[in-house]
Structure 1
Amino acid sequence: MFEVSYDGKLGSAALKQVFPKVMEDLLNQDERVVYLDADLMNSIGMGGFDKTYPGRAVDMGVQEANMVGVAAGMSAEGKIPYIHSFAPFVSRRVYDQVFLSVAYAGNNVRIIGSDPGVTAAYNGGTHMPFEDVALYRAIPGAVIFDICDAVQLEQALRMTKDRYGLTYIRTPRKQMKTVYGENSRFEIGKGCVLADGEDAVIIASGIMTAEALEASRRLKDIGISAAVIDPVTIKPLDEPLIISYAGKTKAVVTAENANVNGGLGDAVASVLSVNEPVILRKVGIQDEFGEVGTEEYLRERYRLTPEEIVKQVMEAVGKKRERV
């Protein structure tokens, strides 16, 4: 059950303010919950938790690979670990440890990667993971969330506490445009139709969800009816929903703050190629490295904008009409 609350405005709280409130609740509710961080507790609002919850909230220092190993060991002893660092450092830097010690070994760890893609902004290309979605998609059994607003972050943290296995939650730390009402609830593998439409469907995740809703509004003004779907989880995808809307519209555009190679765009393409081959366009990082800049500049630089979504939808719809 969910409600759309998009108005194009930023939410009242930064996600790094929402995160510690939820973690405090989880730590108080269940003594099995533990939290590990790699020298970034203050950056995600968790400063002081190591003193309030000694032995259960631990700053591991700048040693992300060791943090993953410790989390796997705690899982093996019945704990419920949540671990955090910037997204590149809990994806490409620790990939072998995540693959073997968590997934292959059958352990139970929730990994939070903050500031994915262009939200890393001034931290630049070294801290700007465009490839993290592709990496986690390749791990059997992994669940991937790409967070679009504060409501979705809170629910992802809460709903995965009792899910056993590897979960990757990629989330910005700053304020986000509000997409969902406060009472919204989500399911793993179940997408949300945020706007209905007949001419095309935009499948968007993370920071691109609000951009897709804005694009849908602009398209309506020029006579194109575009549905918007938030997949909620990139893995597993809601395949029946995607197939249904692809069959209905015959024109699909994906939008993501990640490399389209191996990301949401490729995940959707894999589903459509064997079930409902239709015209597909991908908005996202086009096989490039990151760079330093404001988030606003980087969104323009990599064309992560409503204007680009509108352009790709118009091209897809035009191509579809040529085939009729």
Structure 2
Amino acid sequence: MAERGRTLAMGEDEATGARDTVEAPFGRALVAIARQRPEIVGLTADLGKYTDILPFRDAYPDRFLNIGMAEQNLVAIAAGLARTGKLPFATTYGVFATRRAYDYIAIALAHSGVNVKIVAGLPGLTTGYGGTHQAIEDLALMRMIPGLVVIDPCDATEIAQATAAIADYDGPVYMRLLRGKVPVVLDPARYRFEIGKAQQVREGGAIGFISTGMMTERTLDAAAELERRGVSAGVLHVPTIKPFDAATVAAFAAEVDRVVTVENHVVAGGLASLVAETLFEHGVSKPLQRIGLPDRFIECGSVPTLQARYGLTTAAIVATVIAA
């Protein structure tokens, strides 16, 4: 567990301490896949250590490129490599991929349907380094690009499975990355990630949580606590923001009394907006409560303090639902 009041080091994610963890699940998965896929190459914008791609570099140094602090070049070079038959996995922070290289991703990758995978660290409020490094609006930006798959995985299990899935998928992908010691929330023997599919990971009827990314772990814990308080709460995990599984979301919402969205992202433009659009389009009329970040840049500080302040902890989710 992160020490109280400690500002995490650059690229260091918070571990809750409540579950087993896997070190660098993305890098490990990429190495395993690359053994059978010689066309896979790895690139980074001088953030190899902090995006968990170093296991790939160490295993395949002749298939790894550090482009330096030039995210537009990172995307452009990846696009060029893809056009020669390579399968590039390019890593940087989410803020740099979306804010600095947005046009390159839109045109060089998505517009041309080029087979490049952007793997983006520091999603949402997982760093204490303030608005320059907190990718709190990346899902909203990326889902607006036609033809781009957008993924927000929950845990080590899903990161490994999603890495394999996007390697098999022919087209551009933007995937958020949890790094370092990543908790194991979903049972690897039972859970199977599939691009474009939401999955119900807890049964319940009064409250219907719809969550994505790391917030599914906290939502599951919140649902368990609510159950102890006599409130039945189900959880639908939505790892793929685009393409969005609207049919499953609508069916889940129709069976609960109240819908609560939970995301590590601003509530405008991300999961909450997609759920609201889905309920409207499918004629499902249910109270909708949104848990996420406000429409503002978040200050610097320790990650546990910031997450508690902005309602992204299990205790805060429970308190918000009970208060409503």
Normalising by structure 1, what TM-score? Answer: 0.89
Amino acid of the residue matched to residue 178 of structure 2?
A: P
Matched residues in 1 for 2:289 and 2:58: separation? 49
Question: CA deviation digits over 1:147-182, x for unaligned, max 9?
Answer: 211111101101111101121111221334321112
Return the offset for 1:119.
0.8
Describe the SS at the equivalent of 2:209.
strand
- Give the secondary-structure state (helix, strand or coil) at the position aligned to 1:255: strand
Between 167-176 and 253-262, the greater mean CA deviation after superposition: 167-176
Tell whether the 8 Å contact from 1:9 to 1:178 is kept in structure 2 after alignment: no
Letter paired with 2:20: G
Q: Provide, for residues 61-96 of structure 1, a one-character-per-residue CA deviation record: whole Å limited to 9, x for no partner.
A: 111100100111111222111100011111121100
Task: After superposing the two structures, state which structure 1 stretch, 104-113 or 139-148, moved more.
Answer: 139-148
Letter in 2 for 1:160: I
- The alignment status of 1:146 with 2:152, answered yes or no, reads yes
Q: CA deviation at 1:237?
A: 2.0
**Is 1:251 the counterpart of 2:251 in the alignment?**
no
Among residues 7, 10, 16, which one is paired with 2:19 in the alignment? Answer: 10
2:305 is the alignment partner of 1:297: yes
Q: Tell whether the 8 Å contact from 1:283 to 1:303 is kept in structure 2 after alignment.
A: yes
Query: Given the alignment of the two structures, is residue 57 of structure 1 paired with residue 77 of structure 2, yes or no?
Result: no
Which amino acid in 1 is paired with 2:116? Answer: V
1:52 Cα deviation from its structure 2 partner = 5.1
Contact 2:95 2:135 (C-alpha < 8 Å) held by counterparts: yes
User: Which of 115, 137, 147 in structure 1 is aligned with 2:143?
Assistant: 137
Q: Is the 8 A contact 1:11 1:150 kept in 2?
A: no
What secondary structure does 1:269 align onto? helix
Q: 1:177 and 1:201 mapped to 2: Cα distance?
A: 23
Whether the 8 Å CA contact 1:133–1:258 is kept in 2: the answer is yes
Q: Give percent identity, aligned residues only.
A: 36
Contact 1:103 1:142 survives alignment (8 Å): yes
Structure 1 residues 50 and 221, CA gap change in structure 2 (3 angstroms): closer
Q: Is the 8 A contact 2:42 2:53 kept in 1?
A: no
Q: Read off the aligned partner of 1:186 and give its amino acid letter.
A: F
* 2:4 equivalent in structure 1: none
Q: Spell out the pairing of 1:27-38 with structure 2 (5 A cutoff).
A: 27-38=34-45
1:101 and 2:111 correspond? no
- Show the counterpart of 1:118: 125
Distance in 2, matches of 1:10 and 1:258, equals 23
The worse-fitting range, judged by mean Cα deviation, of 50-59 and 83-92 is: 50-59
In the other structure, the counterpart of 2:11 is: none
In the alignment, the residues of structure 2 paired with residue 242 and residue 210 of structure 1 have an alpha-carbon distance, to the nearest angstrom, of 18
What displacement does 1:288 show? Answer: 1.6
| 2:295 is aligned with 1:287 | yes
Q: CA deviation at 1:22?
A: 1.5
RMSD: 1.9
Question: How much has 1:46 moved relative to structure 2?
Answer: 3.3
**C-alpha distance in structure 2 between counterparts of 1:48 and 1:305, whole Å:** 31
Q: Which runs of 5+ in 1 are unaligned?
A: 1-6, 317-324
Q: So what's the TM-score if we normalise by structure 2?
A: 0.89
* Partner of residue 242, structure 1: 249
3-state DSSP of counterpart to 1:92: helix
Counterpart in 1 of 2:93?
Answer: 86
Give the residue type in structure 2 aligned to 1:120: T
- Corresponding residue to 2:27 among 20, 29, 32: 20
SS in 2 for 1:253: strand
- Asked whether the equivalents of residues 113 and 168 of structure 1 are also in contact (C-alpha less than 8 Å), the reply is yes
Query: What is the DSSP-based 3-state SS (H/G/I as helix, E as strand, rest coil) of the residue aligned with 1:194?
Result: strand
Q: Distance in 2 between matches of 1:207 and 1:293?
A: 20
Task: Read off the aligned partner of 2:310 and give its amino acid letter.
Answer: Y
* 2:317 maps to which of 309, 314, 322: 309
SS in 1 for 2:91: strand
| Residue equivalent to 1:175 | 181
- Residue number among 71, 76, 83 corresponding to 1:69 in the alignment: 76
How big is the shift at 1:313?
3.2
Which 5+ residue runs of structure 2 have no aligned equivalent?
A: 1-15
Confirm or deny: 8 A CA contact 1:36 1:59 kept in the other structure: yes
Structure 1 residues 52 and 198: CA distance shift in structure 2, 3 A: closer
Give deviations 1:273-302, integer Å, cap 9, x for gaps: 121132111100111212222221111121
